[in-house]
Structure 1
Amino acid sequence: MSDSQVRIAGGDTIRSLHADLPVNATFHIWLKATKPDVPGSLSFSNVRGKFGEVSVTNAEEYEFRIFHVFGGGSVELDYDTYQTSVSVAYWFALADVLETGITVLHTNPGNAPPNIPDSYHFRPPFGWMNDPNGFGRFGGRPHLFYQHYSHGLRWNTMHWGHAVSSDYLRWRHMPIFLFPSEDLTARPDKRGGAYSGSAVPLADGPGIRVFFTEQVQDRSPEQQIQLTATSSDLITAGNADVILPYRPLDEGLTTDFRDPYVFKGPDGRWKMLLGSQSDEGGVVLLYETHDHTAATGWTYIGKLLVEKHYRTTAIECPCLLPLDGPATDPATRWVLILGLMNSEDQSTRRKNLTMAIVGWFDGQTFAKEFEQELDFGTDNYAFQAFVDGDAIVGIGWLANWADTGPAIDFPTAMTLPRNIHLSAGELHTPPIGAAESLRSHILDRTRLAAGEQVSFINGAVEILFELERPGAHFRLKLQHPTVRLEVVVDDEGLAICHEDGGAAESPHYIAKGARPKRLRIFLDYGSIEVFADRGRWAGTKRISGFEPVQSARLIAETGAVLHATVWALKP
């Protein structure tokens, strides 16, 4: 953040934010009046004096303002905290923002990100975040959009945040990409906004087309409808158009109708998946269009899948990808990934599971071959993936709705990006190969394997070890200040043991029957991710707070551990 200070003079409290700008800089500022009858304002000045101002009258919610500074140089932003509250202020230069990102001048204690510079997981620069959206490679770079609310750490009116990267691991924050309607942003009443969706390249030029659900809670007859918008500069979205104003008729669906995922089918046509719910269970709906731009002409094909497991209500965030060959080959298997909203595995008490179903997709129907859980830890939710060259890359929300809600401060992260592939008839989801670039230096190569305690210098660690035989029993005890945390393999399978001392009994995070030989475990401030046998089993668990894991000890039968390495990681 740039310099800021509070000046008190003559009984007035003035806050000043300082910025050294290039030419043609753009400010994005959210501010509100502190009193209903007195406007709030923020002024811009330089050595020649005041040259601009933005003002608002809303005292309920922060209003968005744009201000351009063409000349560059040293600029002061001043506002009276008695009359004005500022939530977020950042600036960027449109000409090079994709290379440099935004510069955040100001957040406040209610929406500030955690101060954990050693953390390597993606987090927003301010505010709330949930589902990944529009994940893809556009203009040569990976882009990540996400569900976002700027003004607090609690879920509220949904926007799309945005970041770009070169390696999926190190991200530059972009300006807010997609805004809800002005009516929805007038009050922080959680009525809706720009919900989850996807993005595809523009058909006739550079840029992208995004698809998203607009929710308005009190709208009748449809709370949720589907919209599309385009962006030629990959930085801001244009006006959105409605493409699906109604649910399919005579299908017995609830008002759940959301999360459009758009992709090219085996027949070369654009397809769209949507999540919904019926009396039968969760539903995946399939649409298609003959329009090569995907802008219009969307027609309903039918129910692609009905999910009855685990008392699922609605399906969320479905995506479908060719898995072991080109999309146009009828022999190619596809993987259908879907979040099971309100589901519960009663044998383990795990909720909101994510399933991956492998089968064949002919453009109209999906024939299942087998299915497996995407993540036995369940904190890899709303997973979204796309085909990047010859590999599938995906990312999920490192959280679970079982642990949060609209009344809970909940700063979260995204998971490590993962590949998806078939191996010996099983689905594997290992971390992307670039994850090795996070390694800073080796902390240990002998003591952990010998059963000794290994201390960590910070909370960013990778532990890699191999067992003498598949399924050899072990217990990796991870010392954490507030949580009992272990990774265990025993006769029942591979498990993450997580006990935080809460009143409710913790779910049993287990991959039943798993007999792994090779373990790779990533620790970060607030999370653990376990990958066994190169992603044959993956388990992701959020850890409340940001206290680091301090040390590890590996307890196993004599000779069961062939070798073990502990790496310090850096972002």
Structure 2
Amino acid sequence: MNERLTVAADTIRTLAVDLPVNATFHIWLKATGHNSLGSVSFANARGKFAEVSIANAEEYGLRIYQVFGGGHVELSFDTATTAVSVIYWFTAADVLETGITVVHTNRGNAPPELPGGYHFRPPFGWMNDPNGFGRFDGRPHLFYQHYSHGLRWNTMHWGHAVSSDYLRWRHLPIFLFPSEDLTARPDKRGGAFSGTTIPLVDGPGIRVFFTEQVADRQPEQQIQLTATSSDLITAGQAEVVLASRPTGAGLTPDFRDPYVFRGPDGLWKMLLGSQSDEGGVILLYETEDRTAATGWTYVGKLLVEERYRTTAIECPCLLPLDGPATSRSTRWVLVYGLMNSKDEETGRQNLTMADVGWFDGRSFSKEFGQELDFGTDNYAFQAFLDGDRAVGIGWLANWADAHPDIDFPTAMTLPRAMHLSDGMLLTPPIGAAESLRSRILDRTRLAAGETVTFDNGAVEILFDLDEAGATFELELDHPGAAIAVFRDQRGLGIRYERDDGPASPLYVARGANPRRVRVFLDYGSIEVFADRGRWVGTKRIDGFEPIRAARFSAGAQSVVQATVWALKL
């Protein structure tokens, strides 16, 4: 395909595209004034043949147009009357194989250009929580919280991508839209919030569950909806499955993030996050409807979290770890985020917890618990059972840094496996992460205490210590912050101090004594995996300046060997 931008006049913009037959365009546009129409026209060698228009001057509206004949087509709009946020096209017959082709974004929602960058990012706009993570029709699908028209949180949609290996993604059309009333104005009143996805039981396709929020709705701001998709491209009409919170449970209006899964008794179960006077709450529902479409009834509070003064539990998920779901001996892992929580000892906020125990379909018996990530920038983590292995992914940020009033382009974490070993939960990067290694940068100098410089911001560092728990400090050269990975008397940690910012929290896994440490660097992030994922720390780095070099400023004598790779998708 061939796209080019030409300028025919001072205010006329023309986008030239060569199309296959039956190409579908999604165009988001708005009028620049309240007394005019915004419009985008289509033309070919025979002249203008179509136009889409809109009167709304407050928010971008979606227009869909199909070009049946293909060939060379030019799209034009007058910037004096029309603002265009996004234009992309696709062919429905093969979009799962080819993805969308983005023709236009504006300066306010364009993605960053990051040579070699390997973390998942949206093709435009804002992104937060992963949603509906799962394998459908043989391939992993990732849905996510999305706003197309800027880098700030606003009316929530679901973006969508598909992969073959969890690392290399094809962007697909926007999957789930909020109600028409919510999309009329960029007023942050709500939209299609987080949820989950399951296969349809009566044929090909998926069923999605999500929270609809309308901030000024009474008596319930948040309710649960479901919709289906037979083609894995667009969702059908949504229907309400839970119109209100359970009565008599003492809950705040927080009632969100449905996670649906098969229980050990074969019934569909649903987890929801909320808050009560006792603390953060995970609610459990179930249904005997084999399609999961109707009949959801409240079972009770699966968990009450009294630590860290959370204002609500978010994004709960529950799945078996070391055996079939139907076995009484199988351990399950319950993962949940603690919104606005704070660890007073370290200053870290918005912690994510992972409790391991037994689930009988109606109650959860905890054996032990641990933090999912000592860096805390692995938030809204969602996992599913892919065959006999658990795989999860998180938002590489958290609400301690992000808020609706700042531009905040973010990414997803590296996908992670989840399994038990010697009574502990391990969350290493998936095995396919090794396929990111494009070439070796160093095998001797870093271990000898020398500085190793990087070509760009995409790097993996793997090193072994001569004994478990040996002290070290791996200093990472960044132009805007003092960054290091260290092991000292407190444990394993990430040091992150911005040159122009306040003191950062203490990102440390207390008592961690690793032997092998694996560090992934990318533009805007650092991920640390120690002893096959026994201790994991994820930290977002402000901006996109790359880490330029690394050296052991302390403890090099304890490093047995170290290898540095340049990474590339």
Residue identity in the other structure for 2:326: T
Root-mean-square deviation (Å): 0.8
Q: CA separation in 1, counterparts of 2:552 and 2:212? A: 49
Query: After the TM superposition, which residues 53-92 of structure 1 pair with which residues of structure 2 at under 5 Å, given as runs?
Result: 53-92=51-90
Alignment-derived partner of residue 291 in structure 1: 289
Query: After the TM superposition, which residues 17-166 of structure 1 pair with which residues of structure 2 at under 5 Å, given as runs?
Result: 17-166=15-164
Alignment-derived partner of residue 246 in structure 2: 248
Structure 1 position 117, deviation (Å): 3.2
Alignment-derived partner of residue 185 in structure 2: 187
Residue identity in the other structure for 2:568: K
- SS state at 1:230 partner: strand
Alignment-derived partner of residue 214 in structure 2: 216
Q: CA separation in 2, counterparts of 1:516 and 1:120? A: 26
Contact 2:349 2:376 in 1 (8 A): yes
Contact 1:2 1:104 in 2 (8 A): no
Q: CA separation in 2, counterparts of 1:546 and 1:345? A: 28
Structure 2 portions without partners, runs of 5+: none
Q: CA separation in 2, counterparts of 1:294 and 1:166? A: 27
Structure 1 position 501, deviation (Å): 2.8
Contact 2:24 2:66 in 1 (8 A): yes
Structure 1 position 312, deviation (Å): 1.2
Deviation digits for residues 147-191 of structure 1 (CA, Å, limit 9, x no counterpart): 000000000000000000000000000000000001000000000
Query: After the TM superposition, which residues 200-215 of structure 1 pair with which residues of structure 2 at under 5 Å, given as runs?
Result: 200-215=198-213
Distance 1:448 1:503, change over 3 A: closer
Deviation digits for residues 321-368 of structure 1 (CA, Å, limit 9, x no counterpart): 001100000110000000001100000000000000001000000001
Q: CA separation in 2, counterparts of 1:503 and 1:465? A: 31
Contact 2:341 2:349 in 1 (8 A): yes
Structure 1 position 556, deviation (Å): 4.0
Confirm whether residue 366 of structure 1 aligns to residue 367 of structure 2: no
Q: CA separation in 1, counterparts of 2:439 and 2:153? A: 38
Alignment-derived partner of residue 230 in structure 1: 228
Alignment-derived partner of residue 3 in structure 2: 2
Structure 1 position 4, deviation (Å): 1.3
Confirm whether residue 543 of structure 1 aligns to residue 541 of structure 2: yes
Q: CA separation in 1, counterparts of 2:17 and 2:288? A: 49
Contact 1:2 1:18 in 2 (8 A): yes
The ranges of structure 1 where at least 4 consecutive aligned residues each deviate by more than 6 angstroms after the TM superposition are none
Contact 2:457 2:523 in 1 (8 A): yes
Query: After the TM superposition, which residues 514-525 of structure 1 pair with which residues of structure 2 at under 5 Å, given as runs?
Result: 514-525=512-523
Contact 1:175 1:235 in 2 (8 A): yes
- SS state at 2:182 partner: helix
Q: CA separation in 2, counterparts of 1:130 and 1:156? A: 11
Q: CA separation in 1, counterparts of 2:237 and 2:499? A: 48
Deviation digits for residues 287-336 of structure 1 (CA, Å, limit 9, x no counterpart): 00000100000000000000011111100000000011000001100000
Alignment-derived partner of residue 450 in structure 2: 452
Residue identity in the other structure for 2:483: L
Structure 1 portions without partners, runs of 5+: none
- SS state at 1:522 partner: strand
Q: CA separation in 2, counterparts of 1:361 and 1:117? A: 45
Deviation digits for residues 8-58 of structure 1 (CA, Å, limit 9, x no counterpart): 1xxx62100111110000000000000100011110010011111100000
- Farther off after superposition, 13-22 or 176-185: 13-22
- SS state at 1:185 partner: helix
- SS state at 1:98 partner: helix
Alignment-derived partner of residue 507 in structure 2: 509
- The count of residues paired between Structure 1 and Structure 2 equals 568
Alignment-derived partner of residue 343 in structure 2: 345
Confirm whether residue 567 of structure 1 aligns to residue 568 of structure 2: no
Q: CA separation in 2, counterparts of 1:465 and 1:160? A: 39
Percent of pairs identical after alignment?
Answer: 75
Deviation digits for residues 426-485 of structure 1 (CA, Å, limit 9, x no counterpart): 000000000000000000000000000000011000000000000100000000011100
Alignment-derived partner of residue 259 in structure 1: 257
- SS state at 2:400 partner: helix
Q: CA separation in 2, counterparts of 1:470 and 1:29? A: 56
Q: CA separation in 2, counterparts of 1:467 and 1:72? A: 60
